[in-house]
Amino acid sequence: MAFGLLYDYLMGQTIDAYKYFGAHFEKRGKVDGVVFRLYAPMAEDVSVIGEWNNWDVTRDKLAKIDDSGCWEVFIPGLHDYQSYKFHFKNAKGQYVDKADPYAFYSEYRPATCSRLFDYTGFIWHDSSYLNKRNRNFDLPMSIYEMHLGSWKGQVDGRNLSYEEIADYLIPYIKGLGYTHVEIMPIIQYPFDGSWGYQATGFFSVDSRYGNPKQLMSFVDRMHQEGIGVILDFAPVHFAKDDFALYNYDGAHLFEPADTRRRISPWGSAYFDLGKDPVRSFLMSAMNYFLSEFHFDGLRIDAVSNMLYIDGDKSKGEHSGAIEFLKRTNSYLHQRHPNIMMIAEDSSDFYGVTKPLEYGGVGFDYKWDLGWMNDTLKYYSKDPIYKKYEHNKLTFSMAYFFNENFMLPFSHDEVVHGKGTLINKLWGSYEQKFALLRNLFTYQFAHPGKKLNFMGNELASFDEWNESKSLPWVLKTFPMHDSISRLVRDLNLIYRYERAMHEKEYDPRCFNWLMVDNSDQSIFAFERVVGDSRLVFVFNMTPNYYEYYDIGVTQEGIYEEIFNSDKDIYGGWGQYNGLPVHTSDFGPYNKPHKITIKIASLGAMIFKYKGK
């Protein structure tokens, strides 16, 4: 390793560490082989053991090549898929066998060895997609979040491969109108129930579904169909399994030495994000997936636990981790100007999506978990009591323009006894479906990019289980299948109407039309971009109105382009079929009004057609 690159690694300034550390196929002279490199400052008597040497600790010793703790050996004649580990004496004088922190592939659990794999040489076909890719600030972005293993489930007792999943996923995503998929973590992890958020191999593609080039094929095929792919990544913590990163060289190489700061609320080990080599390690892992796999962005998990100590504002800011986040966003955006960095953050930390030059943390988007919690609480209330919770639906617009927010109904909302979306909602069977249609319409109408977890479109009453397939049989029931159609139509309108996706973070493009009608629990607002003007109306109670006045700012003709109560969505068919004309003197001091029919628990979108 050139001195400058090693210095950058030790100073936490490189995102290319994976190109040096780990196991790389090389040709030295006329000899093909693999060079193994390991960073383990407190290790002694290091060797690599594997299938080729019958796990003999005496045969393939690594030489210490500098005083910083880098070890290296070249072994000829090796090939893909051979298993290996590093064997060495740690700082406590114990001999241990450890997986390669930079391994590009690993054995399928419960086996724990790293495996050789040459990730180079894949032939990509997505150049036209990459040339047009950007961060989507003024473009529609509707994300389908998914867990690869449980989307279709196992077939004949085995997981589908990355490529097999793509066969089914591509037509499904295109049919529903989503612009992106976000896959839950697919770096190597031992425990299925962690869903990938407690990993052991941060460069190792999850062997449950295939090898690195199969994952490349998955992304390549998605891109060829115009579908973006976002990777969920968890740099906060890692699994404590003895064979992996935890207490790696006996001197807490990756985790904090302070026992009070070592264990996370999830029982895993925190990364010590104040250590510069750890920063280089994690930044390089993220860059590896962006560079070598062409992912379009990263969703960073548990950002609040990096902004504040243990995610608790009262414990103070986590200065080392904040610096890590700023450095990560800076380096990755410099290398990949058109990728998206998305923060899963529940805190009120200021400037998460502000540029670094303005004192921000540098993310492109942030999940609006406050909006999600307030919205679901409101929709779960009995209509009699909704008027006392009216502010839960109006509060979001008081802070929304402070950050670039994304509106998530994610996997976290359909597990651990929380109930699925439809289970959370008030009412009878039919009323729950009506409210769910209303809820999805509200999500798409509200400014901000959209995210829905797989299965939301099926209106399942059963919580998600990572060991089971989605309940696809629900598609045979009209009420459930109609929700899928509604989601599809909302996606299509969202993509077509400029007012629904351009300038989403410009407060001049949003205007409340009816915000204080708590007694009737009816809301109305408009969104305007250029000559595109849409009016959204929501009735949050079972009351039906044959004639209802909604104040508008523009005189002319309005046409209803969407109504959640149409029979094709499973509703009662109470919609406005003909265009409506304005008259003067609207309610709430609006200069004009339209008189419309409002369905029970209905949601409507009207498009301004001119004078």
Ordered by where they begin, the domains of the chain are 15-115 (2.60.40.10)
Pairing mode, if any, of strands 365-367 and 405-409?
Answer: parallel
How far apart (Å, rounded) are the C-alpha atoms in residues 156 and 343?
Answer: 37
Q: What would the two tokens of residue 443 be? A: 């999500």
Q: Determine the pLDDT at residue 416.
A: 81
Lowest mean pLDDT among 115-119, 365-369, 377-381, 465-469: 465-469
Does the pLDDT at position 1 exceed 90? no
Complete DSSP assignment for 315-352? G-B-HHHHHHHHHHHHHHHHH-TT-EEEE---S--TTT
Q: What would the two tokens of residue 306 be? A: 């990096």
Cis peptide before 235 (omega within 30 of 0): no
163 included as an active-site residue: no
Q: Determine the pLDDT at residue 386.
A: 95
Nearest to 528 by CA among 449, 447, 585, 603: 447
Q: Determine the pLDDT at residue 225.
A: 97
Mean pLDDT (whole number) for 65-88 = 94
pLDDT band, residue 2 (cuts 50/70/90): low
Whole-Å CA distances, 528 to 455, 502, 507: 32, 9, 10
Q: Determine the pLDDT at residue 29.
A: 85
Tens digit of pLDDT for each residue in 368-411? 999 999 999 999 999 999 999 999 999 999 999 999 999 999 99
Buried b (16+ CB within 10 A) or exposed e, 389-421: bbebbbebbeebbebbbbbbbbbebbbeeebbb
Share of the chain above pLDDT 70, in %: 99
pLDDT band, residue 10 (cuts 50/70/90): confident
Lowest mean pLDDT among 5-14, 119-128, 339-348, 436-445: 5-14
Residue in the structure block whose two tokens are 């867990």: 147
Q: Determine the pLDDT at residue 3.
A: 57
Active-site choice (60, 100, 296, 344): 344
Mean pLDDT (whole number) for 14-29 = 93
pLDDT band, residue 205 (cuts 50/70/90): very high
Q: Determine the pLDDT at residue 6.
A: 74
For the chain, the average pLDDT equals 94
Active-site choice (220, 272, 292, 301): 301
| Residues listed for the chain | 611
Tens digit of pLDDT for each residue in 446-459? 999 999 999 999 99
* Beta-bridge partners for 13: none
Q: SS3 letters for 539-601? A: ECCCCCEEEEEEEECCCCEEEEEEECCCHHHCCCCCCCCCCEECEEEECCCEEEEEEEEECCC
301 included as an active-site residue: yes
pLDDT band, residue 499 (cuts 50/70/90): very high
Does the pLDDT at position 68 exceed 70? yes
pLDDT band, residue 98 (cuts 50/70/90): very high
pLDDT band, residue 4 (cuts 50/70/90): low
Mean pLDDT (whole number) for 589-604 = 96
Pairing mode, if any, of strands 603-610 and 583-586?
Answer: unpaired
Share of the chain above pLDDT 90, in %: 89
